[in-house]
């Protein structure tokens, strides 16, 4: 311990696997549901483009991400209060908690 230094909480239950961010209870409470589509149906119907797609882990709804002009995934969160979405792109698994407004 460093005298007069910052205090550090070493409670491992509160740390995420990377050790940097507190765990998210919303993610822990999810029973992931498979994605229900391979497109943002709202963007497809309107003829608009999306940057990335995410799937709601509560119901499987697929929508365009916040990087997309229409932000349908965020609209889904506002309508349903489903807190966590998972990115649908190749590479590492990436989840976003809308309640905490951060990756989880």
Over the stretch 85-103, which tens digit does the pLDDT of each residue have?
999 988 888 899 999 999 9
User: 11 vs 14, which has greater pLDDT?
Assistant: 14
Task: Please report, for the domain that includes residue 73, its CATH number.
Answer: 3.30.40.10
Residue 63 in tokens: 């929508």
CB-based contact 95:85 (threshold 8 Å)? yes
The domain in which residue 50 lies consists of: 22-103
Q: What is the pLDDT of residues 23-61, one digit of tens each?
A: 788 888 888 789 999 999 999 999 999 999 999 999 999
Q: Establish if 1 belongs to a structural domain.
A: no
Which residue do the tokens 């230094």 mark? 5
- Identify whether 94 is part of a domain: yes
Confidence of residue 8 (pLDDT cuts 50, 70, 90): very low
Q: 11 pLDDT exceeds 80?
A: no
Q: Specify if 14 maps to a domain.
A: no
Residue 13: inside a domain: no
Q: How many domains does the chain have?
A: 1
- Residue 77 domain flag: yes
* DSSP characters over 25-84: HHHHH------S-SS-HHHHHHT---S-EEEETTT--EEE-TTSSS-HHHHHHHHH---E
């Amino acid at each position: 311990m460093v005298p007069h230094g910052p205090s550090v909480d070493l409670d491992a239950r509160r740390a995420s696997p990377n050790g940097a961010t507190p765990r998210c209870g919303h993610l822990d409470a999810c029973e992931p549901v498979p994605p229900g589509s391979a497109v943002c149906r709202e963007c497809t119907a309107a003829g608009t483009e999306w940057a990335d797609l995410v799937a709601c882990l509560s119901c499987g709804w697929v929508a365009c991400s916040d990087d997309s002009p229409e932000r349908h995934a965020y609209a889904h969160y506002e309508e349903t209060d489903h807190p966590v979405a998972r990115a649908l792109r190749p590479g590492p698994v990436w989840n976003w908690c809308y309640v905490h407004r951060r990756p989880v």
